[in-house]
Amino acid sequence: MYGYSFAIVVGASSGIGEELVRQLVGDGCRVAAVARRADRLEALAAEFPDRVIAVPHDVTDYASVPALFQEVTKQVGGLDLVIYAAGVMPAVGEHEYSFDKDRQMIEVNLLGAMAWLDQAALRFENTSSGVIVGIGSVAGERGRHGQPAYNTSKAALATYLEALRNRLSRRGVRVVTIKPGPTATEMTAHLHMKGMADPVATAAFILRKSQKNGEFFVKLTHKVAFGIIRNIPSWVFRKLKV
């Protein structure tokens, strides 16, 4: 269906990332599943022997990424697709300003993505083929009061991916930005929200849109709503409860 033979999914131990691995394997792809929690990865690899390679890795260990990227690519047997799905969003109180939490979100959500996707960009530019997918968020559309650092990390990721797309499109490489809303995963469990998106459906949407080049909201309603929200003057926006 999707046509990928070899893929790397970073952030593969739960949520959308784990579901992406499952759906890629179901489509005949061989996948390197990268994440910090080795036990989760080993269980996934045991479920899909010869299809999933478990790669325990902390995405904040940036210095190890270039060598690990090369090693993983060899283990998988090639590379058509790299997806960065790793992310953290710790609970932040309304009057809380925690640099430790802010730094964690920037390190995982943004710098980890840059460390891995720079390597993917280098390889794919040289081969004039390949697909890069980054999982952003509607949270990056404006700076909202509830999660300043999370909003920042996702806004910066979207800009980084747009710049990669502008560099690599002329070389036959697709760079895809996906912007989900709240999705029912371990990361969002503390939000206690109703009507969150299903990670299975979200993963399927991501793989469908990976066939194109550009930026995509998972829900049409979010595309419309945030198209309006982006254009609200700042002096008005700060008075709204969004």
Dihedral sign (CA 195, 105, 209, 75): negative
DSSP code of 75?
H
Would you state the structure tokens that stand for residue 171, as one six-digit string? Answer: 């070389």
- Return the closest-CA partner of residue 117 out of 170, 143, 151, 156: 156
State how far the Cα of 88 lies from the Cα of 135, in Å rounded to an integer. Answer: 12
Unique residue bearing structure tokens 């709204």: 240
Set 2, 4, 84, 150: catalytic member: 150
The two tokens of residue 28 are 């005949």
Catalytic residue at 150? Answer: yes
Task: Cite the active site residues.
Answer: 150
